[in-house]
Amino acid sequence: MTNMSKIWIVLPAYNEEEALPPLFESLNEVLSEEKKDFSIIVVNDGSTDNTAQVLADYGKKLPVIAVHNDGNKGLAETIRHGLLEAIERTADKDIIITMDADNTHPAGLVLRMVRVLKEGNDVVIASRYREGSYVKGLSLFRRFLSKGVSWLFQFFFPIHGVRDYTCGYRAYHAGMMKKVMKKYGDQFISERGFSCMVDILLRLRENDLVFAEVPMVLRYDQKPGASKMNVMQTIFDTFWLLIRRRFFERRIR
């Protein structure tokens, strides 16, 4: 076991009492079947439903580690918290995976992402824009928005191998993540809301890394509740991030 790299799954969760149990079950199924060593770090962002209880229950039967924000801090702060918790625990050869806690990102894809990461990539993105990708159940408007962001960023901030800038399902080489997060400190994530996923990618882009994508089947039809994304706010934040980084801020090297 000791020479195996461990998989650390980081889940930002805000009121996900319904989605977490089936997600835990399927992660456990796919990873145990392949005899992978794994832990799931869930950052509870001041949920007002039974998320905390679900985490306490699952912590007794699966390798689920619950950490709690004091209050509702938003997605960016929650992802940052989760990544910091992860890099404190990981060995350099480990793998850190972030995914939505809403049970729309298929657990089975973890295996392929790990495989592709080990094939020589530093970052692997589960992408909606590759041969074999499929999006089920997401509104036309939301699909159009992500696609627009994808085009804009591919034009202004091209990254070799990257088309999906917004998806939260990603695999990172742990040693790389440690180095990069230490280097930027508080500036690693400057956004507050859902635009943090683009923000992280732009930071990583400033470093000499290798990116790859694998096709994802996004099961938005399995989402138990409504989306928690504030669409207008996210559009605004994302555009402002693009303009700031493109025209006002200097690249940090």
222 binds, options Mg ion, ligand GDP, none, Cβ within 5 to 8 A by partner type: none
82 lies in the binding site for ligand GDP (CB under 6 A): no
Rounded distance between C-alpha atoms, residue 149 and residue 225, angstroms: 24
Q: Give strand pairing partners of 151.
A: none
Nearer to ligand GDP, 207 or 227 (CB): 227
> 200 with 83: CB under 8 angstroms?
no
Question: Which residue's CB atom is positioned nearest to Mg ion?
Answer: 100
CA torsion angle 159 245 172 138 (round to 10): -80
We find the least distance from the C-beta atom of residue 72 to ligand GDP, in angstroms, to be: 6
We find the least distance from the C-beta atom of residue 62 to ligand GDP, in angstroms, to be: 18
Residues from 128 through 187 that contact ligand GDP (CB under 6 A): 168
Both structure tokens of 72: 């509702």
14 binds, options ligand GDP, Mg ion, none, Cβ within 5 to 8 A by partner type: ligand GDP
98 lies in the binding site for ligand GDP (CB under 6 A): no
> 203 with 114: CB under 8 angstroms?
no
228 lies in the binding site for ligand GDP (CB under 6 A): yes
Among residues 235, 130, 147, which one has the least CA distance to residue 193?
235
Q: Quick one: which of 16, 17, 45, 100 contacts Mg ion (CB under 5 A)?
A: 100
Residues 103-142, one symbol each (x = binds Mg ion by CB under 5 A, - = not), give: -x--------------------------------------
We find the least distance from the C-beta atom of residue 221 to Mg ion, in angstroms, to be: 12
Within 10 A of 22 (CB to CB), how many other CB atoms are there?
A: 13
3-class secondary structure, 39:
strand
Nearer to ligand GDP, 239 or 252 (CB): 239
Both structure tokens of 4: 């195996």
74 lies in the binding site for ligand GDP (CB under 6 A): yes
Q: Quick one: which of 5, 28, 78, 90 contacts ligand GDP (CB under 6 A)?
A: 78
CA distances in angstroms from 104 to 26, 95, 189, 223, listed in the order given: 12, 21, 24, 6
Q: Which residues bind ligand GDP (CB under 6 A)?
A: 12-14, 16, 45, 72, 74-75, 78, 100-102, 104, 168, 227-229
